Structure 1
Amino acid sequence: MTESGIPGASGGALPNAVRIVEVGPRDGLQNERAVVPLAAKLSLIESLVAAGLGTVEAGSFVSPRWVPQMADTDRVVTHFRSSDAVEMPVLVPNLRGLELAKAAGARTVAVFAAATVLFSRANLNASRAESLARFAEVTAAARASGMRVRGYVSCAVHCPYEGWVEPGKAAELAASLADMGCYEVSMCDTTGAASPGRALAMARAAIAAVPIDRIAVHFHDTFGQALVNTLACLELGISVVDSSVSGLGGCPYSPGAAGNLATEDLVYMLDGLGIATGIDLDALVKAGAEISDVLGRKPISRAGLALATRLSASSEVKDHLSN
């Protein structure tokens, strides 16, 4: 992306446009206690696409014994397989998952590697070296089949078991995924513990190891820092950001981790900065409110709540004036 020349808080120039990767249907819903009905998942994705999201994580082909919320991913992918309007990555942990993704008609898959040994053991039941060898096989097989592969580095800033992560360690892992053929690598603050200084250190190391146009950032909001961390990284020139509608999310292997950066909050900030996203914020807010209703709670997104309240009040005033 070219730079807009808009000065950021620290003097860096912000990009003209940001591509948002919506992770709510996978990273968000996988952490729900109750399984969300298939019809609700399909409606959510349709609403997100209608709002202008061009990349939406559709689900994951992991064992339903471990993540029952994703057991119907094949049906989600099959439902959208004829659509060329949006890219829908699906998580695959191994070759078996890749075969299931291919059978369902997926065109893009994602692999997750952890920056720390203990998180890798907890999340992937493998050492870092073992997981990288596994993902190298998956990536090679996927690309041989004409599929695109996105990579994720979990615990790129902090690990729930090992504490703060050396930025160079996370960057080295990102480079390994890029060298395998991942078209893009998302650096994930899995525990949401980062603040801007640590976020910047992680991002600087990542873009020193991998071309900046192949780096994305993915912040959780445990300490309320996700939005400011994202802005700090945008000032470095990063222009791809993962987020989740209504702030859905968490991590089953990271105790206490809160949801992802809310897509509504991100779009509201970017709109205010004059940075293009191609997303209709009102339609996005509606999508967030609808899935929150399904889950039986209010949206976590601050912007989503404020805008929904404003839109409801405006509608009531119009109805009153027309009577």
Structure 2
Amino acid sequence: MSSSSLRTLAPVSRPAAGQRSPLRLAAWTSLVLLALAAPFGFGGYGLYVAASGGLMAVGAMALTVLSGSAGLPSLGTAAFLAIGAFSSGILATQMGLGILPAIGVAIVLGFASGAGVALLTLRVSGLYLAVGTLALQHVVSIVATDLDLKLTYASGFMLDSPHLFGIAIDSPWRWWALTVALIAVVLMLFAWLQRGHVGREWALLRAEPTAAAALGISAVRARLTVFALTSAVIAASGAVDGYRLGNVQATGYTLHLAVTYLTVVALGGAGRLIGAIVASYVVVMLPDAIAALLRVAGIDATSRLAGIDNMLLGSILVFALLDGPARVRGALLRRRGPAAIPATEPATTADRNGSDA
């Protein structure tokens, strides 16, 4: 077994809680509080954008664990989001049930669908696995369109404001509070898994499958686990987002949405949970930022630069896939001099995943 495999399995040494700098902890706490309070300064629309980016971050964290930590590329994110959203729409309009049953059903269906995809694609990887998940996207799109036509006559499922433990989630700040809670739960869940033996199994299977097999790690079990778990989380985020949008339609869950999530994961860094959160907000705020810049320049985007946000989104994806963020970071470190470049070898995948959260 290679030395890199042993380092991947070895526990990550971390400073004790008492050894951490109080100043650094205070700085991080202040930064988090500032990020939580910032949307209130932009009114209702700022809170709406904050909730939208946060729910995208929930799904993006799951996808970065699947594609980054476990190395299993997927183009089926929009399909799992549709499973969750249609669970909310059907349960609310056809059965009169609320958001909690919808989240529960979405988790079960997402878990089962993810496990099914994992079983059907056990013998393929890389591009072929991505094509397999693309087939799921196509099937779900057909089923969702059929349900949309038969149950709503293509008008979509109209959802009222949900009630959670007797509290109506009917204002932008309450949606923001719910989103923050979901981000915290999902972040802690995946950070805990990445730091534990499950995350190390995923990382070792991605980097050294032969060594993993020699150590008795089951590739089938690991693939089933990561696919089912991440798909359940994505479906749950789709169920909540369906209520936030107030209208669930099949046309909202296309391949373009799946590519958007891939862009977020590529920009945030493979397996990096905090990176997925930050990149989600970059992508969500991109159209508003472009529109503001064009207004300052006196350019009418609707007539002269229509579709520029999609072109920039594609450019960001290409930049991220070409390892642009790492190249820029390396160039900045070189400009600061040799003292700024770490003397030790790069951290392993498990180390990087653990340090993100």
Q: Note whether the superposition's TM-score is higher than 0.5.
A: no
Larger Rg: 2
Q: Structure 2 length as normaliser, TM-score?
A: 0.24
More helix by share: 2
More strand by share: 1
Q: Structure 1 length as normaliser, TM-score?
A: 0.26
Larger RCO of the pair (alpha carbons < 8 Å, separation 6+): 2
